[in-house]
Amino acid sequence: MLAALVIIHDPAHTTPPQPATLRDAFGLSRAETELALALLEGQTLAEYAACRGVSLPTVKSQLRSLFARTDSTRQAVLVRLLAGFGGGPPPPAASPDPAVQAAGDRLE
């Protein structure tokens, strides 16, 4: 018998990890934690530097520190690792329309 398991993961439908979780797991500084969360949100290093008002070399230094603390060498691998510390699906948004809520209640 041949079987297969396919798991589809949509990062847009999960909650990001809590800052304290990342700090505790990897011993990250506040600046490293903020960069890690920004990378998880899809920000580029240049966008993050501009948003924080710091130089790109400073952000690259923080990224090298993140690599060292997480034992990773590539940004994609780092982001995948950090995403694994996130929570499950985000809570559903409340619907302001009672008809939509009633339809959802009938499905349960």
- The predicted-structure confidence for 24-36, as pLDDT tens digits, reads as follows 999 999 999 999 9
| 69-108 pLDDT per residue, tens | 999 999 999 999 998 887 655 545 554 555 555 544 444 4
Count CB-CB contacts under 10 A for residue 19. Answer: 14
pLDDT of amino acid 93: 52
SS in 3 state form for 10-29? CHHHCCCCCHHHHHHHHCCC
pLDDT at position 54: 96
Q: What is the pLDDT of residue 13?
A: 58
In the predicted structure, residue 68 carries a pLDDT above the cut 90: yes
Dihedral sign computed on CA atoms, order 82, 83, 84, 88:
positive
Share of the chain above pLDDT 90, in %: 56
pTM summary value: 0.69
Q: How far is it, in rounded angstroms, from Cα 16 to Cα 62?
A: 20
CATH of domain 14-83: 1.10.10.10
Helices within 1-108 (DSSP H only): 19-26, 30-40, 45-52, 56-70, 75-83, 98-107
**For residue 62, what pLDDT is reported?**
96
